[in-house]
Amino acid sequence: MITAKVEEVDRDRLLGLKFGADDYICKPFSPREVVARAKAVLRRTQSGPIDEKLIAGPITVNITRHCATIHGVELPLTPSAYGLLKVLMARPGRLYTRGDLISRVQGYDFEGYNRTIDSHIKNLRRLRPA
């Protein structure tokens, strides 16, 4: 909170903090002080990045770290295999056409052979932890 009130500052600060303010500063103030106080609040409130994960049985896809594991052991995945696994785990039980999978994994209209996705699926089925 920023205020121009200088009288009864202690009472106002206590009320401001009581009602949820993280900090309280009175005019006149230095812009550097405001920035420093804002950074201090951000340091206190920000935690590390939260890992976004997809989990199905022993398989975990960590979207934040761009990797996958089985029973906690990292899998050696190509970018295409990782993308395919992520798509399939995001919506378990959903049926996809080859074209759907190719466009979701490649991110664009793939002009190659659409059976390419069959090879990636075969490779995923054979995966074992490294």
* 3-state SS, residue 56: strand
Token pair, residue 76, equals 């050696």
- Structural domains of the chain in order of their starting residue, each with its CATH number: 2-45 (no CATH), 53-126 (1.10.10.10)
Q: Per residue in 75-100, pLDDT tens?
A: 999 998 999 999 999 998 899 988 88
- Of the two residues 121 and 43, the one the predictor is more confident about is 121
Q: Per residue in 44-58, pLDDT tens?
A: 777 666 678 999 989
Q: How confident is the model at residue 109 (pLDDT cuts 50, 70, 90)?
A: low
**pLDDT value of residue 59:** 92
Q: Which amino acid type is present at position 72?
A: G
* 3-state SS, residue 5: coil
Q: In what helix (H) or strand (E) does residue 70 lie, and over which residues does it extend?
A: strand 67-70
